Structure 1
Amino acid sequence: MIEKDTMSSGILRRFVRDERGVGAIEFAILFPVLLMLYLGAFELTVGLNVSKRASRAAGSIADIVSQQSSVTKSVLATMPSVAGAIFAPYGTTGTTLKITGIAIDATGKATVAWSWAQDGTAPYSSGTTITVPANMNQASTFLVRSELSLPYQLISFGANFLPSGTNQITISRQYYYRQRVGNSISCSDC
């Protein structure tokens, strides 16, 4: 009996001192956490890149229009392709774009001179008073405002971790540019 006890306690001591599977157990515990950190960092990087492209697209569109002395609906209708070129390789499905000409009179009152939306409508009525940023509200000037909105679908590898309805966000940007040529930018058919 003593021999059996000694033998089983020897096996038990060897089992306690054996460290061959410790690395595998530690990896199994840490792997899900490390995977979620990696995928989260990937999602954040892609989202920030899309956000930066939205800013660049809205600014570029306002800049292009502000360099014109007059525009038409057909010229403004080419602006979504400018946004598409900036967003490449990301898709622009669901993007909405609005461009507005804003006249500021001698008293500093800003009104809509013309407006155009990607769907071909005029989102703001001409003559409507509008608020502009204080640093842009300079008497007897003309502004071009571009508004770009893009639905962004989160990749969300851990869909069960997010509350329902939170797998899509809307990235919106708005830019104001002063006219570059003349005192205003006209749109004959807006």
Structure 2
Amino acid sequence: MSEQVAKSDVKIGGRSGVFLRLNRAFGLLRDVARDRSGASAMEFAFLAPILLAIYISSFEITTGYSVAQKTLKAAGTIADIVTRQETVNKAFLTEMVDTAEATIAPSPAPGLKLKITGVTIDGGGNAQVLWSWDESGGNPYTKGSAVAVPDDLKKANSFLVRSELSVEHTMLLFFGSPAGSEASTRTITINREFYYRERLGNDVPCSDCG
């Protein structure tokens, strides 16, 4: 009888040891799950690059929008200046490049291209090129060719000056780049145009433009 009891105690004691070890193991797992030491550092290490990429991309997009607004303002300023003249020539129009750069400053204006066109509208509301000029001193449009003018500007027997300005802007982006989350640069061309009516007389002729 005593031998059976001893065997039974050994058997129960063995199961108790297993349960005890399992209980300790689960206890350690619970402690690990509850232990937050170092978790903040890991979370920061994971989120910091993402937050930095979002910040830089937002800054670059905001800068690009600012350059676009300045480009539009420069195009309007140029058209406004030209319509205030009784007559213009290539030398005068060349100065408009400096006007554009000064308006866009302090942002750089690489690849700046400028076209200024004198547009005449006949009695039937048909708009045609009277003269044209670009930053290289050439004539981008053929004299007498049709011009697409907004309907609200098609006043019969009137004259318009159209300025077309484009600049290149390079942006540093992280998201949507071919490399995935890696930084990449993307160069976009910002194009803006503006129309102004003549201020003095019936038109603004260019003495040496084609």
Q: Same fold (TM over 0.5)?
A: yes
Q: 2:142 aligns with which of 104, 118, 125?
A: 125
Give 2:207's aligned amino acid: S
- SS of equivalent residue, structure 1 residue 127: coil
Give the match for residue 3 of structure 2.
none
TM-score under structure 1 length normalisation:
0.89
Give 1:173's aligned amino acid: R
CA distance in 2, matches of 1:184, 1:8: 92
Q: Are residues 1:155 and 2:172 paired?
A: yes
Give the match for residue 179 of structure 1.
198
Offset at 1:87?
1.2
* Structure 1 unaligned regions, length at least 5: none
Aligned pairs (5 A) from 1:1-190: 5=21, 13-157=30-174, 160-161=179-180, 167-190=186-209
- SS of equivalent residue, structure 1 residue 70: coil
Q: Deviations over 1:7-60 (max 9, x none)?
A: 777655543332111211221222222122111211111110110111001111
Which region of structure 1 is more displaced relative to structure 2, 57-66 or 103-112? 103-112
Identity of aligned residues (%): 44
Offset at 1:146?
0.2
* Structure 2 unaligned regions, length at least 5: 1-13
Which region of structure 1 is more displaced relative to structure 2, 102-111 or 29-38? 29-38
Call closer, same or farther: CA 1:112–1:12 in 2, change over 3 Å.
closer
- SS of equivalent residue, structure 1 residue 144: strand
- SS of equivalent residue, structure 1 residue 167: strand
CA distance in 1, matches of 2:161, 2:49: 49
Aligned residues: 188
TM-score under structure 2 length normalisation:
0.81
Call closer, same or farther: CA 1:10–1:131 in 2, change over 3 Å.
closer
CA distance in 1, matches of 2:109, 2:136: 15
- SS of equivalent residue, structure 2 residue 45: helix
Give 1:161's aligned amino acid: G
Offset at 1:166?
7.7
State which structure, 1 or 2, has the greater radius of gyration over its C-alpha atoms.
2
Offset at 1:169?
1.1
Give 1:151's aligned amino acid: E
